[in-house]
Amino acid sequence: MSVLRPPRSTEKKGPPKLPPLTLSSPSLVAEHTPCTLHYSVLSPDLACELFYTMLDHSQSWKRNKWWLFDRVVESPHLTSFFARRTNGLNDDEDWQEAAQYWYNGRATEPPSVFPEPMERACRIVERIVNDEIKKRKRFKLEWGAPGGSAQPEWKANVAASNCYQGGKESVGWHSDQLTYLGPYPTIASLSLGTRRNFSLREVVPTQEAESRRARTFNVPLPHNSLTIMHASCQERFKHSIPPQTTIDLYRPAFPRKTEVTNPNPVPTSSDSFPSTPVAPTTPSATSIAIEPSNCRINITFRFYRPDFRSGTIPKCHCGVPTILRPDMKNRTDGHTDKYWWACYAGAQNDGKGCNFWKVMDMKKEGRGPCVGDAEEEQ
Ligand SMILES: O=C(O)CCC(=O)C(=O)O
Ligand SMILES: [Fe+2]
């Protein structure tokens, strides 16, 4: 008799589901998300040189591994971390060696210094970011200038870089950990190589879940484009690079300028490295045909706040530095004001952590100065 029963609706009650929307222009991105999109940000030859440089470096990059519930998972892309020669505030050249950072509950290797073309690109990115943030409202917990000015220049002092080989490689839905970035960071994300979609989806606060649903936005990111995730993006939205069944190959506009200088050569095999051009090593490099590539390189330029330096991060009962998360589901008046420190040791320790968490208290923990502190003093 069950065959006669009407099919049960699997649709959840509540506001209607909205189909994903492709945001194919900077104005659409600015209208729907806390991001801005900028095309052709570097000169074509610098963009190409940086692509080759990072591709060469990526031969020694790793896949992050961590425990999720009862199994080890591996990031479906290669990744690496770089620190700038100075800390973005003064000329201190020792800062990146002095800092021991943690990622996914594991102490990271000392970062490499920005390669030279990355340093040049970073200066251009900083100018674009500063022009853009001058037009935007600031949030009270954003980093404020030590002198009390509410409008400090944005500087990058670290960068994380990913290499996605082919359309299957991806990064899942997440918001970036705020442990060293602090609340309301600005993150500038440079795309090189094959165009991929960047997806964004808001986390709707609990009190609004009955009245509206989040929508997925897909932003195609071409070679040499910059996506700025502005302050509040990590508090309100999750982002991902979804796998794609098809991708266009990237055809570099220029041949390699120099011989390949891979700092950490590793044997390559068809399993471990993509079908990208093997670097010509002869002086006649310019006469060699340019091979298209199926890779996308992403560089996220970030500012590690001095008030969130590694020594200031609370440790959990496992003795491992905690991670800082925003309370994404509870925002009041569009602002996130609750963040907590949470144990992340389980990511490495057979999935076993200690459930430690505590609310972050900027003032009690002696953090700042923040944009809001300068306003309060006026
Ligand atoms: O590749 C991208 O554009 C995003 C990378 C990302 O979200 C991350 O590394 O946290
Ligand atoms: Fe991210």
The predicted model gives 111-138 an average pLDDT of: 95
Query: Where in the sequence is the domain holding 117, given as residue range(s)?
Result: 18-257+289-377
| Best CA proximity match to 327, nearest among 173, 185, 175 | 175
The highest-confidence range among 56-70, 215-229, 277-291, by mean pLDDT, is: 215-229
In the chain, the number of structural domains is: 1
The neighbouring-strand residues paired with 188 are: 228, 301
189 lines ligand 1 (CB under 6 A): yes
Across residues 55-66, what is the average pLDDT?
85
Averaging pLDDT over each range in 71-80, 85-94, 117-126, which range is the top one?
Answer: 117-126
Ligand nearest to the CA of residue 194, numbered in listed order: 1
252 is a domain residue: yes
Residue 110: pLDDT above 70?
yes
- C-alpha closest to that of 218 among 235, 242, 194: 242
* pLDDT recorded at residue 265: 42
Does residue 58 form part of some domain? yes
The whole-number pLDDT of residue 377 equals 52
Determine whether the shortest distance from the Cβ of 162 to ligand 1 is under 6 A. yes
Pocket perturbation via mutation, ligand 1, pick of 192, 196, 239 by most ligand atoms within 8 A of CB: 239
Cβ–ligand 1 distance for 171 under 6 Å, the answer: yes
State yes or no: cis peptide before 369, omega within 30 of 0.
yes
The interface predicted TM-score of the complex, written ipTM, equals 0.99
- Are 184 and 232 in contact by the 8 Å Cβ rule? The answer is yes
Cα–Cα distance list, 261 to 15, 45, 58, 258 (Å): 55, 18, 12, 8
pLDDT tens digits, one per residue of 179-210? 999 999 999 999 999 999 999 999 999 999 99
Task: Assign 365 to helix, strand or coil.
Answer: coil
CA dist., res. 276 & res. 250, Å (int) = 10
Give the CATH number of the domain where residue 123 resides: 2.60.120.590
Instruction: Identify which has the larger pLDDT, 280 or 40.
Output: 40
Nearest CA to ligand 1 atom 10: 176
Is 274 contained in some domain? no
pLDDT above 60 for 339: yes
pLDDT at 298: 97
Ligand nearest to the CA of residue 196, numbered in listed order: 1
- Residue 8 DSSP class: P
- Nearest ligand for residue 104 CA: 1
Q: Whose CA is nearest to atom 1 of ligand 1?
A: 298
This prediction has a pTM of 0.88
Structure tokens at 133: 């943030």
267 occurs within a structural domain: no
Q: For 39-52, what is the mean pLDDT?
A: 97
Is residue 265 domain-resident?
no
Distance 172 CA to ligand 2 centre (A): 9
- CA–CA separation, 62 and 81 (whole Å): 10
Mean pLDDT score across all residues of the chain: 85
Distance 286 CA to ligand 1 centre (A): 32
Q: Among 149-153, 279-283, 299-303, 315-319, which range has the highest average pLDDT? A: 299-303
The answer to whether the beta carbons of residues 86 and 157 sit under 8 Å apart is: yes
How do 35-38 and 225-229 pair as beta strands? antiparallel
Please state the rounded mean pLDDT for residues 310-335: 89
More confident residue, 101 or 278: 101
Q: Would you say the CB of residue 239 lies under 6 angstroms from ligand 1? A: yes
d(CA 193, CA 198): 14
Q: Which ligand is nearest to the CA of 77?
A: 1
Is 271 part of a structural domain of the chain? no
Is 277 domain-assigned?
no
Q: Is residue 114 situated within a structural domain? A: yes
Distance between Cα 12 and ligand 1 center (Å): 31
Residue of higher predicted confidence among 292 and 295: 295
Mean pLDDT of the region 211-232:
97
pLDDT(311) > 60: yes
Query: Is the CB of residue 180 less than 8 Å from the CB of residue 309?
Result: yes
H runs (alpha helix) in the chain? 26-32, 44-57, 95-98, 116-133, 233-236, 371-377
- Top pLDDT among 331 and 196 is at 196
- Quote the pLDDT of residue 282: 41
How many whole angstroms from 175 Cα to the centroid of ligand 2? 6
